[in-house]
Amino acid sequence: MLFEGSEKKVEIVVRPGLPSFREKSREFWDEIVTAAGACILSEVHSEACDAYLLSESSLFVFDNRVLMITCGQTTLVSAALHLVDEIGRDSLASLIYQRKNEYFPDQQHSQFHEDVLILEGKLKGKSLCLGDPNSHHMHVYHLNQDFVPQ
């Protein structure tokens, strides 16, 4: 097996009027990050954002959105669904899951199409490929619902 540590990213936005993600405890975020197979190494806080350095990348928590970026053998899709389970599917305004292409996808511990099957078990969305499928590209999965950024 030839391992590639391609980047995976998920952005989850909740509907207006819901409690702030920033009100969640450190233990809550530990649980979400652990679901991905990573751990929180350190954290910093500002007026707008709580940022967590992870063992395999980063987590950014805003009032109405969460951005988690991982690489390596993390299972970001597991963390995303764990968060969706915690907040409730009806709370979602937007969910976008991205995964960079791999040069040897059949030799990786998981593939984008497998991630989509897992997401589709709880969500209804669409997947697409941005860029040249025979060169550099990005796989994207997003909820199949209207979203207007606030």
| Per-residue pLDDT tens digits for 47-90 | 999 999 999 889 999 999 999 998 877 889 999 999 999 999 99
Structure tokens at 69: 């970026």
Structure tokens at 83: 């968060």
Is pLDDT at 107 greater than 80 in this prediction? no
Domain residues for the domain of 100 are 8-143
Nearest-angstrom CA–CA distance, 64 and 16: 7
In a domain, 150, yes or no: no
In a domain, 128, yes or no: yes
Query: How large is the average pLDDT for residues 38-55?
Result: 97
Domains: count for the chain: 1
What pLDDT band is residue 108 in, cutting at 50, 70 and 90? low
Looking up residue 69, the CATH number of its domain turns out to be 3.60.90.10
In a domain, 2, yes or no: no
Nearest-angstrom CA–CA distance, 137 and 28: 33
Percentage of residues of the chain with pLDDT beyond 90? 67
The more confident residue out of 124 and 144 is 124
List C-alpha distances in Å: 24 to 6, 65, 92, 95. 29, 12, 17, 19
In a domain, 34, yes or no: yes
